[in-house]
Amino acid sequence: MTGPGDTPDAPTPDHPLATSAPPVLHEVMFGHVHAAALRAVAVHRIADHLADGPRTPEELGGLSGTDAGALRRVLRLLAVRGLFHEDERGRFRLEPAGQPLRTDVAHSQHPGVLMITDPMMVRSAAELSGTLRGGRSSFELAYGTPFFEHLHKSPQDRGVFDAGMAAFSGPEDELVAQGYAFPEGARVVDVAGGRGGLLRAVLRRDPSLAGVLFDRPATLGAHLLDEPALAGRWRTEGGDFFEAVPPGGDFYLLKHILHDWDDEDAVRILGSVRRAAPEGARLLVVEAVLPGGGIPHPALELDIVMLMVVEGRERTAAEFEELLARSGFRLHRILPTAALPSVIEAVAV
C-alpha cells in the first residue's frame, strides 16, 4: 500500500505484475468466477429485463430487486465475454450470444445455465482433486451417494436436472432427426428416451414410422408424444434398460445414454439392446464423438462433467467401435449433425 505523497513501486521481477499468469492460465483459473457471474444474472433473470432494449444498472436493479452497483460489476465482466454490451451512457444491452439467457425465447438455455452452475455441480467440481486420487465420482465424494440415487431422493434437484437436460436436448432433437433418413415403415424404439423429444421429432418427419418410448415408468408420465399428428403411431413401455428393452424394433435409439456410464455398464446396456434387436436391426447411438489428438471440441468440458458426476465419459470413434463390437454390433458409419452429437450407426450381427 502507498501513503499520502508516496508513489507506487515499479514492477520488479518479484512483483505480482511482473509475474502475472499467461492469459490462458488466467482465464482458466478464473473460470469459476465467470460461471458464478453467469448464474447470478440467470437467477435474477436480468436477460428478461433487457428484452426490450438497453437499461442502466439502476433500472435493472429496480426491476429485478438487485443492487445496482453490484449488478454493474457483474454485467461488466460478462460484457467482456460478449453476452452483454455497455454503451457510452452506462446502459447494458443483451448481445446475440446472451439471447438464450432469456426465458421467453425458443430453445432458452436459462434452465441449462441454472443446472450447470447449480451447487450440485459446484460442490462436485470442488472434489475433482479427490477423483484424481481415487477414481470415484466427485459428486459421490461430495454428497456420499451416487448422482442418480441423490436425484431420486431429492425432487428439487431432480427438477433442476430435468429442466436443464430438456433445455440442452430440445434444440438437438430436430437437428438429429434431420440428420438421419429412416426407411419407410420403420419401427423405432427410443431406449431411455426420457420425455420422448427425439422420438417425437423422428415421427413428425414421416407419417409411416411407428415408435416405442421406453424408460422408467415415473419418467414416462411426462411424455411429449400425445399430439394429433402422431396418433396411433406410438406407445410407451416402462422398464430397466439393464434388464431388457422392447424387442422387435427395426431401429434402436440411445441418445446421451452411454456417456453416463463406464465401459462395463455401457456394455450391459448395449447387451440388453442386442438381445432385443433382430439380426440386421440398426442401433443409432446419438452422442458426441471426441476427435482425439488434442483437437479442441465442445464435448471435452462435458467429459469432465461426466467424470465429476457419474463416472461416465465421452468417447472417441475407436472407443465406440470397441464397445459396439463387445456387445454384438458392428459399427457402420458415423454421421455428424448440425448439433453437438453425431449419429453413430451400428448393425446387429
Write out the catalytic residue numbers.
Answer: 259
Residues contacting residue 141 through CB under 8 Å, at least 6 positions apart: 127, 130, 131
CB neighbour burial string for 250-288, b if at least 16 within 10 angstroms, e if fewer: bbbbbbbbbbbbeeeebbebbebbbebbeeebbbbbbbb
The continuous run of DSSP H or E covering 237 comes out as: strand 234-238
**pLDDT tens-place values along the chain, 349 residues long:** 444 444 444 544 454 544 577 989 989 999 999 999 999 999 999 999 999 999 999 999 999 999 999 999 999 999 999 999 999 999 999 999 999 999 999 999 999 999 999 999 999 999 999 999 988 999 999 999 999 999 999 999 999 998 998 898 888 999 999 999 999 999 999 999 999 999 999 999 999 999 999 999 988 988 999 999 999 999 999 999 999 999 999 999 999 999 999 999 999 999 999 999 999 999 999 999 999 888 899 899 999 999 999 989 999 999 999 999 999 999 999 999 999 999 999 999 9
What's the CA gap between 275 and 262, in Å, rounded? 20
Which set of grid coordinates corresponds to residue 299? 464435448
Listed in order, strand segments (DSSP E) in 53-122 are 84-86, 92-94
